[in-house]
Amino acid sequence: MTKESRYHGSCLCGNVHYEITPPFSTFQYCHCSRCRKATGSAHASNIIMPPDQFNWLSGEEHVGRYEPAESKHFATCFCKMCGSTLPWLAKTKKAIVIPAGTLDESPKETPERNLFWDSRASWYQFPHQLPAFKTLPGKSEEVCILSSESI
């Protein structure tokens, strides 16, 4: 596989870099309570793939890991410098989970499904139901109306 077909990722402070090689096993939003806590967001946006398609490129010494004692699969990794969530090897060691927001390139693949939909945040709203500003409200007065065709 050529180098161009790989995707690269990094944390917010730039100390940690990694690369992944498609294909993805799946790409999904996970609304489980652990993913919501670990990301601080409504859901995780996770690419799942076999561990041998993943490599740390730099800064592995800055990567922390947390494993809830009671989880079978779930763990989380993060940059000890900036706190960004980072790819984590499942406890089973059968898959690596890539937080898609840490990718430096835009993958051609897109999410395929929602997991743990019944656990979603009570305040979760479909993005296309909300007004969308191009940047900050007040900086751009133009509100984009998202239609189902544009998403």
Q: Tell me which residues touch Zn ion (CB under 5 A).
A: 11, 13, 15, 30, 32, 35, 79, 81-82
Question: Residue 81 CB, nearest distance to Zn ion (Å)?
Answer: 4
User: Is there a contact between 9 and 19 (Cβ–Cβ < 8 Å)?
Assistant: yes
Q: Which is nearer to Zn ion, 11 or 49 (CB)?
A: 11
Q: Which is nearer to Zn ion, 13 or 146 (CB)?
A: 13
Q: Which is nearer to Zn ion, 81 or 90 (CB)?
A: 81
Question: Residue 7 CB, nearest distance to Zn ion (Å)?
Answer: 18
Question: Residue 71 CB, nearest distance to Zn ion (Å)?
Answer: 10
Question: Residue 144 CB, nearest distance to Zn ion (Å)?
Answer: 29
User: Cis (ω within 30 of 0) for the bond into 50?
Assistant: no
3-state secondary structure the chain: CCHHHCEEEECCCCCCEEEECCCCCEEEEECCHHHHHHHCCCCEEEEEECHHHEEEEECHHHEEEECCCCCCCCCEEEECCCCCEECEECCCCCCEEEEHHHECCCCCCCCCEEECHHHCCCCCCCHHHCCEECCCCCCCCCEECCCCCCC
Q: Which is nearer to Zn ion, 30 or 95 (CB)?
A: 30
Question: Residue 84 CB, nearest distance to Zn ion (Å)?
Answer: 5
Q: Which is nearer to Zn ion, 14 or 137 (CB)?
A: 14
